[in-house]
Amino acid sequence: MKKKVDIAGIKFNAVRYEDVLTAMEVFIKGNEKHMIVTPNPEMIVYSQKDEAFKKVLNSATLAVPDGIGILWAAHYLNLPKAENRFIGILKVIGSLFQVLFKMKAIYKVLPARVTGTDLLFRIVNESQKNGWRIYLLGAAPGIAGIAIERLSKKYPKAIFAGSFAGTPAETHEDELCERINLAEPDILFVAYGHPNQEEWIHRNLHKLTTTKVAIGVGGAIDFAAGKAKRAPQIFRSFGLEWFWRLITQPRRIKRIWNATFVFVSLIFRLKRSKNS
């Protein structure tokens, strides 16, 4: 697998979707078990306060960059040292404008965004020619079942072993693992939101007899079920999904604040300390 890029203590793989799909084939044919995580800026901020969560993320076989903010951070942290704080601030502002107006520049360190939602769709599509069995765990009751109905129409040759909402509570883990094992999936998508989904996989993957790959996908099952709407392509193209969510889901303002302003401030401080 390609080089790793450290962002605030989280080690990302410099991969594209195609690299992940190629790795999936190897993983499923092999005898070991693999966790894939999709850290975004909000998760990076959270990991700074939770060392155990940081260790869980870094224990994954693959950590893919979910969000344009991760690509920006990788780019900014690799810029030459600023002469002083004022120049440093100008570099931050300039690099943020590159996200909007000169996007190719920020793809030099990490080559692509690999979002949990798009990864789910691409893996389901790829599963059609490989016969991979897929299980959806999490989301609200009934939502994963609706997601399977919609995905089956789009990808008619995909094999869904089952779905269940369940709960990430540790008291229910053995029951959930038994249910999943009876379904015999190759791939498990877990949608409990961070940090619950990553911690659940970390604690339980070894108990799953047939599952070779487990992936935390956050709200991807909601999107697949049509319960939540993705930002229009124009917003996604310019890395402005956060702005779309602010407009359509103002109750998420605290999460959006952490994923934007708090994250940028964190990366700026890391750059300053690195260059001091």
Place 79 in a pLDDT band, splitting at 50, 70 and 90: confident
What is the pLDDT, as a whole number, of residue 196? 97
Task: Specify whether 75 is located in the same domain as 196.
Answer: no
The residue that leads in pLDDT, 272 or 150, is 150
CA distance 144 to 58: 28
pLDDT score for 45: 97
Same domain for 97 and 166, yes or no, is no
> In angstroms, rounded to a whole number, what is the distance separating the alpha carbons of residues 254 and 122?
30
Residue 95 above 60 pLDDT? Answer: yes
pLDDT tens, position by position, 41-72: 999 999 999 999 999 999 999 999 998 899 99
Token pair listed for 184: 């015999």
The residue range of the domain holding 264 is 68-112+230-275
| Final residue before a domain boundary, out of 185, 207, 225 | 225
The reported pLDDT for the residue numbered 241 is: 74
pTM for the complete prediction?
0.90
Q: How confident is the model at residue 254, as a pLDDT?
A: 83
Last residue of a domain, one of 210, 225, 240: 225
Residue 213 near residue 34, CB atoms below 8 Å: yes
More confident residue, 250 or 238: 250
d(CA 138, CA 141): 8
102 and 59 part of one domain? no
Give 135's pLDDT tier (boundaries 50, 70, 90). very high
Distances (CA, A) of 125 to 159, 220, 258: 10, 15, 33
Same domain flag for 140 and 234:
no
- Same domain assignment for residues 245 and 150: no
Q: Are residues 8 and 32 in the same domain?
A: yes
At which of 208, 225, 242 does a domain end? 225
Q: Is the pLDDT score of 248 beyond 90?
A: no
Name the β-bridge partners of 164. 137
Same structural domain, 120 and 203:
yes
Q: For CA atoms 143, 186, 38, 104, give the dihedral sign.
A: negative
- What integer pLDDT is reported at residue 249 of this predicted model? 73
pLDDT higher than threshold 60 for residue 1? no
Q: Are residues 216 and 88 in the same domain?
A: no
pLDDT digit string, tens, across residues 204-226: 999 999 999 999 999 999 999 99
- Predicted confidence (pLDDT) per residue in 154-178, tens digit: 999 999 999 999 999 999 999 999 9
More confident residue, 85 or 118: 118
Please list the alpha-helical segments (H only) found in 105-219. 116-130, 143-154, 173-183, 196-204
Structure tokens at 56: 């869980």
Claim to verify: residue 74 and residue 208 sit in the same structural domain: no
What pLDDT, on the 0 to 100 scale, is given for residue 35? 98
Work out the pLDDT band at 144, boundaries 50, 70, 90. Answer: very high
- Total count of domains within the chain: 2
The CATH number of whichever domain residue 161 belongs to comes to 3.40.50
Answer yes or no: do 211 and 80 share one domain: no
Is there a single domain that holds both residue 136 and residue 197? yes
As a whole-number percent, the residues of the chain with pLDDT over 90 amount to 69
Whether residue 259 sits in one domain with residue 143: no
